[in-house]
Amino acid sequence: MANQDVILEGYSIEELDEFVMCPRCGCCEIGYESCWQCFGAGGFDIYAETPLEAEPGEWEHCEECLGVGTYPVCGGGCWRDSQGLHHRGDIRR
């Protein structure tokens, strides 16, 4: 995830599917980054990790991304100054 990307929390997948622009800032497009825990798989093959304790094909959903495999992010690099004004770009005054 790039430094300016902000993970969008508090929105369901269904809600985010309705947005093209970020609901947090309103000016940037929504992007998606792979989950750091499951590397985008959405979960873990328990049998591959513990074959003596699990059945073949047994799957556990990732607790970080809730089985989705990605995080929605605002990737536009926008920010708010000390007075709450919205800006885009990397130059901070």
pLDDT, tens digit, for every residue of 18-73? 777 777 777 777 878 899 999 999 999 999 888 888 898 899 999 988 888 988 88
What is the pTM for the complete model shown?
A: 0.58
Tokens matching residue 2 = 């790039």
Instruction: Classify strands 70-74 and 6-7 as parallel, antiparallel or unpaired.
Output: antiparallel
Domain positions in the chain:
6-87
Tokens matching residue 5 = 């990307």
